[in-house]
Amino acid sequence: MERYKYEWNPDLQVFSMRPEHSRDSDAADALPTFAVGYQDAGDLAHYAPPPPSQLYFNPLTCGKR
């Protein structure tokens, strides 16, 4: 995170709206994605798995009429 930085525009003397792309920016961009999807272990106590799919596919009968 220390190497994550924004591009500097010397003409306007401001930072750009988008970060400077480097090998460090990909990892830094992944951190907010992880934070949004993270669930505490206590939250998983109320988790119910989804019901099994109702789609039954038999490849041996596929295409036969």
- When divided into structural domains, the chain yields a total of 1
Backbone angles phi, psi at 10, to 5 degrees: -70, -25
Confidence of residue 63 (pLDDT cuts 50, 70, 90): low
Q: What is the pLDDT of residue 32?
A: 81
The reply to whether 60 falls in a domain is no
Which structural domain range is residue 11 located in? 6-39
Q: What is the pTM of this model?
A: 0.37
Residues facing 19 on adjacent strands: 6
The reply to whether 17 falls in a domain is yes
Q: Mapping DSSP to helix (H, G, I), strand (E, B) and coil, where does residue 57 land?
A: coil
The reply to whether 59 falls in a domain is no
Q: Give residue-wise pLDDT tens across range 3-61.
A: 777 788 888 899 887 777 777 777 777 888 888 877 666 666 677 777 777 667 777 77
The reply to whether 54 falls in a domain is no
